[in-house]
Amino acid sequence: MREAAQEAGQEGILRRQSARESAARTYARALPIVPVRARGMTIEGADGRRYLDCLSGAGTLALGHNHPVVLEAIRQVLDSGAPLHVLDLATPVKDDFTTELFRTLPPGLAERARVQFCGPAGTDAVEAALKLVRAATGRDGMLAFTGAYHGMTAGALEVSGGAPSVRVARLPYPQDYRCPFGIGGASGAELSARWTENVLDDTKSGVRTPAGMILEPVQGEGGVLPAPDGWLRRMREITAARGIPLIVDEVQTGVGRTGAFWAVEHSGIVPDVMVLSKAIGGSLPLAVVVYRDDLDLWPPGSHAGTFRGNQLAMAAGAATLAYVRENGLAERAATLGARMLAQLRSLAVDHPCVGEVRGRGLMIGVELVDPGRDGSPRVGSRRVGGSPRAVN
Ligand code: PMP
């Protein structure tokens, strides 16, 4: 009886959702689930079924759902009587968050870091980063990569792979399986780097010295594509030598997910600007841009947002950052990720529908192909052309 009632309740909610919500909704179309409870990696639906959550809020839940330290941090703020909304005023909660965040930053940036609290979404922080480097350099153009995803607001869309823009020069992101040069590996990455160098140095390339370069150390929505460390170091050298600020978008790769606290640590590069969101809010909305102090040349009010002082998110975020750091969860993600990659790759041997298994730490993607229909020619184990895509 109870199960039938639960099932009926769920059906009603799903029916009303599809009647009332927008055609632009995404996951809701494919997953007829009505989550009512969640803990760790498990979500429980209104129908009483339990689901293993492999989405992790698109990279938001570094500690899983409703981790006790996150709940406790939120409760403490609620019980203290602290204001929940303060625009960008200083508070003890924000002070703690900033201290914890700076503690985690890559050496080289940490000592000279400034932080701007942005509107609550990753895309707000991307907008801020683009504005910051434009203000600091007095230049306008931007270098960005094929397959990139930086958000849905106008500026962030411009630097994403899906939207054409006259202000953005698009460069090839290195990848093995669908290498644009058809060779993949270190040689493919080297050609990507040379192309970048050439675009900047050839006075007839049609690209003027830009205000900045923006990249993801592992492309997330682009299909979980980890950039080789050597290529990232080349991007750092190329931009540094030409006075171009390097913006690294760690919205999806941050807080231990790739097996290092920040994904840039794998290559050892120090970006000029880092864009952070998702997991830094401990499951609540929070986004910041962190940058070297000499870039701090924009005037007051250059970037604002009513919800840039979300105290509950800062408390949940500080607790999450501290827990990941103190418990060595990045190292754990590296160990578990290596094991998982190996196991998934061994499965791929017997399943031709698995095109490639790739990733870093626990940020893992399995590219599924239709072996009969996917006509793109293989070059060794690589494919030429086409674009993998994850959907946020
Ligand atoms: N940058 C990256 C790398 C992302 O993966 C995303 C979201 N998937 C964003 C920016 C935008 O974040 P938000 O959806 O919170 O605006």
pLDDT in tens, 51-95: 999 888 999 999 999 999 999 999 999 999 999 999 999 999 999
* Ligand 1 probe mutation, 26, 56, 60, 123, most atoms within 8 A of CB: 123
Span 175-190, average pLDDT: 95
Q: Whose CA is nearest to atom 12 of ligand 1?
A: 122
Residues 257 and 153 occupy one common structural domain: yes
Residue 65 lies in a domain: no
Residues 290 and 378 occupy one common structural domain: no
Q: Give me the number of domains the chain comprises.
A: 3
pLDDT tens per residue across span 263-299: 999 999 999 999 999 999 999 999 999 999 999 999 9
- pTM confidence score: 0.95
* Ligand 1 probe mutation, 60, 278, 280, 391, most atoms within 8 A of CB: 278
145 Cα to the center of ligand 1, angstroms = 15
Residue 62 lies in a domain: no
155 Cα to the center of ligand 1, angstroms = 13
| Residue carrying the six token digits 């600007």 | 273
**Ligand 1: does its nearest atom lie under 6 Å from the Cβ of 56?**
no
Query: Could you count the other beta carbons within 10 Å of the beta carbon of residue 201?
Result: 11
Q: Name the residue range of residue 222's domain.
A: 108-301
* Ligand 1 probe mutation, 216, 277, 308, most atoms within 8 A of CB: 277
| Residue carrying the six token digits 């959907």 | 391
Check: CB of residue 187 under 8 Å from CB of residue 357.
Answer: no
What local confidence, expressed as pLDDT, does residue 3 receive?
66
Domain boundary, last residue among 301, 320, 353: 301
Q: Whose CA is nearest to atom 1 of ligand 1?
A: 150
Domain boundary, last residue among 10, 34, 54: 54
Q: Whose CA is nearest to atom 10 of ligand 1?
A: 150
Check: CB of residue 220 under 8 Å from CB of residue 252.
Answer: yes
Residues 203 and 113 occupy one common structural domain: yes
Span 27-52, average pLDDT: 95
Q: What is the dihedral of CA 209, 210, 214, 215, to 10 degrees?
A: -30
| Residue carrying the six token digits 């959702």 | 17
Residues 260 and 210 occupy one common structural domain: yes
